[in-house]
Structure 1
Amino acid sequence: MKILIVYGTVEGQTRKIARFMADILREKSHQVVISNAVENPPAPIDFDAVLIGSSIHMSKYNTLIKSYIEDHIKVLNSKPTAFFSVSMAVASSIKEEHDEVVQIATDFLKETKWNTNTIWHIAGALKYTRYNYFKKLIMRSIAKKEGGSIDTNKDHEYTDWAKVKEQVLQFITSLKS
C-alpha cells in the first residue's frame, strides 16, 4: 500500500511522531512518503491512504496543514485518511483540557470540510531547551498547574509511543478488511 504522511510542526514533536508512524508502516512493507508541510508536500491523488498531523499552538493547527487540506479536500474525502492532533493538553489530567482539544479538532475538521473518520489525539512534549525565556516561563507555569514537569533544564516527552503504534496498525488493518 502506498501511504502519504504530511505533518506540520513547530518544535519537532509532530515530526518525530510522523517519522515513527512511517517506520511502523515500512516495517509492514508499505511504501511511505513523508513530508513536512513547509516542503510543498505531494498531492494525495496517487496514494492509497493519507495521514495528516499537526500540533496545536495557541488553540490553532498549523496554517500550512489547513491550506494543504483545503487544497486537496475532494481527494482526501475520497480516500482512507487519519488526522493526528498533537498537544500537551492530552497529557493533562484535567478533563476540560481534553474537551478543549476535541473541540479544536472538531472545529478544524468542520472548517476545512474534511470528513476523516479517524482522529488521534496524541500527547506532545515540553521542549524547554528550545523555548525562549518567556515561552519557557509560560510553559513551566502551565506544566506546574497541570502536574507536568517543571525542570526547564531538559525536555520532557509525553507521547505514548505504544498507543501510537497500536492506532497506526489498527488503521492499516482496517483498510484490508
Structure 2
Amino acid sequence: MKVLIVYGTVEGQTRKIARFMENVLQEDGHQVIIANAVEEPPEPDDFDAVFVGSSVHIQKYNTLIRDYVQENIDTLNGKPSVFFSVSMAMASSIEEEHNEVEQIAKDFLKKTQWNPKKVWHMAGALKYTQYNYFKKLIMRSIAKKEGGSVDTSQDHEYTDWPKVKEQVLSFINNIKEHK
C-alpha cells in the first residue's frame, strides 16, 4: 500500500511521531512518502491512505496544514485518511484539557470540511532544553498546573509509542480488509 504522511511541527515532536509512523508502516511492507508541510508536500491523489498531523500551539493547528487540507479536500475526503493531533494537553490528567483539544480538532475539521476516517489525539513533549528562558518559565508553570515534569534541565516525552504503533497498524489493516 502507498501511504502519504504530511505533518506540521513547531518543536519537532510531530515530526518525530510522523517518522515513527513511517518506520512502522515500512516495517509492515508499505511504501511511505513523508513530507513536512513547509516543503510543499505532494498531492494525495496517488496514495492509498493519507495521514496528516499537526501540533496544537496557542489553540490552533499549523496554518500550512490547514492550507494543505483545504487545497486537497476532495481527495482527502475520498480516501482513507487520518488526522493526528499532537498536544501537551493530552498528557494532562485534567479532563477539561482533553475536551478543549478535542474541540479544537472538531472546529478545525468543520472549518476545513475534512472528514477523516480517524482522529488521533497524542501527547507531545516538553522540550525544555530548546526553549528560551521566557518560554521555559511559561511551560514549567503550565506543566506544574497539569501535573507534568518541572525539571527544566532535560526534555520530557509523553507520546505513547506503543499506542501510536497499534493505531497505525490497525488503521492500515482495516483498509486492507476492505479492499
Q: TM-score with structure 1 length normalisation?
A: 0.99
Give, in angstroms, the shift of residue 117 of structure 1: 2.3
Counterpart of 1:170? 170
**1:5 matched residue in structure 2:** 5
Other-structure match for 2:37: 37
RMSD over equivalenced CA pairs, Å: 0.5
The answer to whether residue 81 in structure 2 is matched with residue 81 in structure 1 is: yes
Q: Which amino acid aligns with 2:100?
A: E
Partner amino acid for 1:113? Q
Deviation at 1:132, TM superposition (A): 1.1
- The residue number in structure 2 matching 1:153 is 153
After superposition, residues 1-177 of structure 1 pair within 5 angstroms as: 1-177=1-177
Tell me the percent identity. Answer: 72
TM-score, reference length from structure 2: 0.98
**CA offsets, 1:116-148, max 9 Å, x none?**
120000000000011111111100000001110
Report the Cα distance in structure 2 between the residues aligned to 1:146 and 1:122, rounded to whole angstroms.
Answer: 16
Amino acid at match of 1:77: N
Q: Deviations over 1:1-56 (max 9, x none)?
A: 00000000000000000000000000011000000000000000010100000000
What SS class does the counterpart of residue 93 from structure 1 fall into? coil
SS at match of 2:93: coil
Take 1:117 and 1:144, find their aligned partners in 2: how far apart are those partners? 35
Gaps of 5+ in 2: none
Partners in 1 of 2:142 and 2:148 — Cα distance? 8
TM-superposed CA distance for 1:174, in Å, is 0.7
Q: Give the letter for the 2:99 counterpart.
A: D
Letter aligned with residue 84 of structure 2: F
Counterpart-to-counterpart distance in 2, 1:133 and 1:39 = 30
Q: SS in structure 1 opposite 2:109?
A: helix
Unaligned runs of 5+ in 1: none
Residues 55-95 of structure 1: CA deviation (Å, up to 9, x unaligned) = 00000000000000000000000010000000000000000
Matched positions, count: 177
Following TM superposition, by how much is the alpha carbon of 1:176 offset from its aligned partner in structure 2, in angstroms?
A: 1.2
